[in-house]
Structure 1
Amino acid sequence: MNITFLLFPNLTQLDFTGPLQVLSRLPGARVALAAKSLAPVPTDAVLTLNPTHSFDDCPPTDLLCIPGGFGIDDAMRDEETVAFVKREGARANYVTSVCTGAFILGAAGLLAGKKATTHWAYHDELKRVGAEPVKARVVRDGNVFTGGGVTAGIDFAFTLATEIAGEEVAKAIQLGLEYDPAPPFYAGSPDKAETPVFEAMTERYAPRVEAFRVALAKAMKQS
């Protein structure tokens, strides 16, 4: 199976590295990291990523995965990036995203009429790309799989692993990675976070979400 991850500047590294760690362990997996060029790609957390392929020489993909991050504002307006996603999404068996990567799929026209999820702060914006927002950690609609924010990418990847290779293989990968979440507290979703915590994060995200809305409007006009 050819698995292709899209790389773009200022992506959220865990949106990418979480699913990568799981999916790269699938039997027969061949992973391509595709970007506009082979230049190192900066992330939001110091880590720099090295693409394995440019858009021009990337092999046809069976599974296309789009991570999110603040860099989506530029990525979803970049003609080469959107054209690549359209091309690979049209022939992939699985079209997928994590977090706000859903909006790059949306800019490429791949979420129209589809149920989808994304990071909670951007969830309602899915309607603007023609998707039906569903509040869930992982959502499947046909061959389109979307994951919620950041760490949801791990659950998303195990959902895909089960679909592709079966439950026993997915469980074996889970054991190998010792993925057994036991957080010190439960504040990882708007439904579980205490009100002061939720209000503080909503206020913190407000300027960022407003800038995203402007970028999304421009991206949809270009599509």
Structure 2
Amino acid sequence: MRLRNIPGAEEALRQYPVFVEDPTAYRGRWQERFGNDHPLHLEIGCGKGRFITTLAEQHPEINFIALEVKAEVIYRTAQRTEKRPIPNLALVQYNATLLPDLFAEQELDRIYLNFSDPWPKRRHHKRRLTYAGFLRMYKQVLKPHGEIHLKTDNEKLFEYSLNQFSEERFQLRHITFDLHQSPFAEQNVMTEYEERFASRGQRIYRTEAVYLP
């Protein structure tokens, strides 16, 4: 997601109640932040926020957290809540490599990885969000039988991810190599990127990986 720099984005974010200024303070007690014991879903890399805000509005019985490392990106998501507050959504600016700083063991029910950077060069493979090191970290914060939902337009990244999930003993289900022509299309919530890709006729790849301890 490439966006122009937005001067003062970090300061502006603090004006939005949906933004969590010190997310590490809620480690192990995100239920207190939301004031309920609903399941907790995390999107790593929320872009402009269409996906996560739509899901949160559709599912008030679930708490959602959107994670982004860049202030100007998550600021776009915050703007979506200006006229339409979403009480079951929290926005966090943090690095995904430090996920255990934010969540205690077995605190998350689901993780969404939507159109993550494929890092195509072999020397960069450890930066891919489905690299084995990341998957082991997700295991720390996911509940038993917690899920990772992956969508991408990159076939090579998808094949790589399927192999990584299998090697880390995740159970794969609902694998599709053409999401918009599959039975899963009806319930699918699109991201901004996805809508653009779909309009060009590009295939979208999707799977769900279940953590089985």
TM-score (norm 2): 0.41
Between structures 1 and 2, the one with greater strand share = 2
The structure with the greater share of residues assigned to helix is 1
